[in-house]
Structure 1
Amino acid sequence: MHELFVAGDVDSDFLDSTPLRRVVAESWQRSLARGVDPDYGGARSSDLAQSVARMRATHPLASALPVIRRLLVEDATSSGVMVAISAADGTLLWVEGDSSALRKAEAMNFVPGADWSERGAGTNAPGTALALDAEVQINGSEHFSRIVQPWSCTAVPVHDPATGALIGAIDLTGGDEVSSSQTLALVRATVVAVENHLALLRFTGSPRTEPRFGPPRLTALGADRPRWESTDARGHLQRTTLTGRHADILVLLSRHPEGLSADHLAMLLDDKHLDVVTIRAEMSRLRKVVGADLLSSRPYRLTAPISSDLADVFDALSSGDVPAALDGYTGPLLGQSVSPSIGRLRTELSTSLRGAVLATGRLALLRRWLQMPEGRDDRDGWALLHDSARAKPVVRAQARGHLAGLDYELG
C-alpha cells in the first residue's frame, strides 16, 4: 500500500478503501502534501540544532528529566529501545536508551536537534502525536519514510498543567513490541507523572517552574486581524488584536533592527508623509499594548527580538525549506494596509514564495500554492501543472479547465 501511495497509484477514495488505519492514511496524505521525500535519509536537521543546548536548558521538560529517566530510560538501556523527548515543534531534545539502538538510529538522524515533526520526517509517532495533539502508535511500514520502517514507536503529547498548552511529546522507539497496548499505557502513565510533577513544582513555587518567557509574537499574515501575543508575569499567554497602523509599525521595526527616525517611519507608513506629532501619538499608544520596555525612541526601535509569522516564512525560504514556508504562509502580509513599504514587503514575500515553489519542481507543493487565493490566478503555475508529465490525467484536466476559465476572464 505504501508503494502504491508514494507512486501516486491511488484515487480520491483512498481513505475509504484502504486497509490502513485512518490516522496513518491521513498522516501519509499530509506528509505527501508537505513535500516529504519518502526516500530521504530520515529527518532533517532542525534550524534550531545549533541551539539545542539552550533549548534543553530553558524547556519546561528539563525539570522532569529525573521522572522520565526513572520510569522509562532505566529499563530501556538494556532492552533495545530508545526514549525520545521532543519540543512542541518536533525538535528532538533528548534521545536516550539502549546504546546499540542509539547507534542504529543515527542512520536516520534520530538524534537531538533533528526535526521529527510530520513536516520534517513524515508519518512518525512523535511528529504525528504533535500534529494531532493525541497519543499515537506507528508500526513499522506505517512510517512514511522508508528508512524508518524497520522501527515501531509510541508517543504521547505533554501539556503545560497550568495553561493546557502543548509543550512536547515523549516517545518510545524500538522493535515491534513497542507498538503494544502495554507500551502505550506505560508512556501514558509517564506523561501523567510528568504533568503532575510540573504542576507540583509550580504550586510549591520552585525556581525551576518560573514561567518560560519566549519572545513576543506578531501574527501579520492571512485574512485574520493582526495579533500580538506575549506572556505575562505569571506565565499566562496574552493575546491582543492590533490596529492596522500598530501592525504596520511593528512589521517595519522588526525589519529595521537598526531603528527608524520619526520622519523615516512616517514616510514608510504613508507616502503622503504623516506628521511627526501623529507618529509620536501612535508610538505612545503602541507602548501601552506591547510594553514600554520593548520600544525605545530616537530612533524608534525594538529593544528585544520578537518572533513573527512573516519572519518564519522568510527564514524558511532562506534555508531552502519550501514546505515549511508554505506551512507558515497563511495569506498576504497585512492585506488591508495601504502603507507603501508594507505593500512592497507583501509583494516581495509572495513573489519569493511563488518562485521558490515553482523552482522545486514538486507537484505537491505546486498544487498547494495553486489552491491558495494568490495561486488561483497564477496562469504560469497552472500551465506548469498542466504540462507536467508526472501529473495524473485528472489533475491535468482540472488544470486545463482552470486555464480556460482564466483565459475567458482575461479575454
Structure 2
Amino acid sequence: MSDSASTSSRVRRAYEDFLSGITPADDSVRSVVRDSWARSIQRGVDPGDVVPESDTTSMSATEFAEYRDAHPITAVRPLVQSLMLDDIADSGVVVALTDQAGRLLWVEGATDARDRAADINFVEGSMWSEEIVGTNAPGLALAVDRGVQVVGPEHFAGAVQEWSCAAAPVHDPITGHVIGVIDVTGGREVAAPFALAAVRSVVAAVERELHSRAVDLADPSTFVAESGARLTVLGGSYRWRRAGDGSPERALSRRHAEILLLLQAYPEGLNTEQLAVMLAEDGVDPVTVRAEISRLRRDLGADVVESRPYRLTVALVSDVSEIRDRVAGGGDLSAVIEVLGRGGLLAESSAPGVAEVFEELREDLRSRIIAEGDVGALRKWTSSAHGRDDLAAWRRLERRLPPGHPDRPVVGGRIRLLDKRYGV
C-alpha cells in the first residue's frame, strides 16, 4: 500500500471512530482537521448530507449577480485566472473565489470539471462555510484564517470525501479583514503539497494587487513618509538608510537584515517565538532574539521596532518589496529576473522565514512570466539560475516561438533533456 493510500485509510478509520464517539489517536489525523470535525459536530452539521444548499434564501439571482460584481475579490479575478487557471484549465480541477462568509462567487475551470463539481453543489451561490458544510478547505481557511489543505476523508461530509481541496484567505490591505478565499478543488492532484503552495502564492499576489489599487496615486504623501527608510539586501552587502534625518547609510549584519526583511513581510508583527522559528531551522533562543532586537535598536534607532509584537514603526521600502510590486503591477519582468539573479540575502540566508519570502517571490514571478508568455522574459527566465530547469517555462517558450524559428530545435532539445532527467 502506498504512503498516500495508507494515510487515507488511517484518516478514514479515525473519521469513522470520531462519528462513533471514539476520540481518534493524536497521530491518526491532523489536529486542524480533528478540531474542525469537533466544531462541525457541535454546530449540528450532518455528515450524511449529500450537498450544501445554495444560498437562495438571502438574495435573488439578480441580487447575487449585483453583489458578486461589487465584491472586492471580483476585481482580482483576472489576475487569479492568469496566475492559476490558465495553467490548470485542462487538469480536471476547478478554481473558486468566495466571499468572507464562504459563499462561492466564482467557480471556474473546464466544463467537465465544473459539471463534476456541480454534483456536490460546488457551484456559484452555494455556501461552503464550516458552519454549513463541516470540514472543507474554503470553510476551514475562513475559520482558522490561514491556508489549509483538506484531503479526501478529512472532509466532514461523506459525499465530499472523494475530493481534495486547498484554500487560503485573502485580506483587505487597509483593514486586514478577510474578504474571501481562493480555493482549488479536484481529485488526487490537489492532494499534492504543491497545491497549497500555489494557492498561497496566488493569494500573496492578489493581496499586493489589492494594496496597489488602494494607494492614492494622486496624493504625493502616499510616497513620502515622515520617517521612512530603505533596506537593500540584494547584491553584495546589506544596507539601511534612514530618510530625512541626514544620517549616513549603515551596513547591516545578516541577522539584522533578516529581521528587518521579515518584519516588512509581516507588517502585523511577530512575537518572539514566531521570529525565533523564522530565523533558524531549529529555532533561536528567545533570549537571543531579544538581544538581537536590542542591538538593532541601538544601531538604527530606538524607534525603529516596536515590541509586543515586534513590528516596524517606520515606512520601509526594500529592493525586495520593489521587485514584489513590479511583479504584481506588471512591470518589466526581464529586469526583475536580472535583479533577482543578484542573489544577496534571499539566496544566502538559511533562515526559514527568509527562504519562504524568496520562494513566494520567485513563484509569483514565474507564474506571471509563464502566464504572460513574453518571449523575451521567457528567454531570460530559462537562462537564469532560477528557471533553467523549469520544464513548464521551456514548454511555454516552445509554444510561443513561431514554426521554423531557429531556436525551436534547441528549446525542444532542452525539453527532452528535462523530461529524461526528471522523469516527467
Q: Which TM bucket (shorter chain)?
A: 0.3 to 0.5
